[in-house]
């Protein structure tokens, strides 16, 4: 199995631009999680989906952030417009429903200048 796939691995963009991060979960997994990791705040859960339905988006920092999961094999996290304080590593993770083990992707390192 290829594991959780994230793209791009690195993204550098200018303030005000739209950024789209992509995630392909492990085939057969039906829970998907988006996290953000920074030195200051550590690892924060942004949103998670069960069976493609958003369950808890209370961690999404503000309306500039949105996430979708149009099908079981694909999810996006969009930031529009991006700001320098959004610079972080964004992780996607997936798991089987009711499993305690989340499988993390390699992350997308986002730099907003």
Q: Rule CB under 8 A: which residues touch another protein?
A: 4, 31, 42-43, 45, 48, 50, 55-56, 91, 93, 95, 97-102, 104-107
Alpha-carbon distance of 4 to 9, in angstroms, equals 12
Cβ proximity to another protein, 42 vs 70, nearer residue = 42
Cβ proximity to another protein, 88 vs 107, nearer residue = 107
Least Å from the CB of residue 79 to another protein: 20
Cβ proximity to another protein, 81 vs 106, nearer residue = 106
Backbone φ and ψ of 85, nearest 5°: -70, -5
Least Å from the CB of residue 60 to another protein: 14
Neighbours of 78 (CB within 10 A): 15
Nearest to 61 by CA among 84, 72, 45: 45
Q: Which two tokens stand for residue 47?
A: 């949103």
């Amino acid at each position: 199995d290829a594991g959780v796939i994230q793209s791009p691995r690195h993204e550098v963009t200018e303030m005000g631009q739209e950024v789209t991060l992509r995630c392909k979960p492990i085939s057969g997994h039906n829970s998907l999680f988006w996290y953000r990791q920074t030195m200051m705040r550590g690892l924060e859960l942004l949103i998670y989906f069960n069976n493609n339905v958003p369950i808890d988006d209370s961690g999404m920092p503000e309306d500039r952030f949105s996430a979708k999961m149009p099908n079981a094999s694909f999810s996006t996290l969009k930031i529009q417009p991006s700001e320098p304080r959004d610079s972080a590593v964004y992780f996607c993770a997936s798991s089987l429903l009711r499993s305690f083990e989340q499988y993390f992707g390699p992350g997308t390192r986002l730099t907003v200048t």
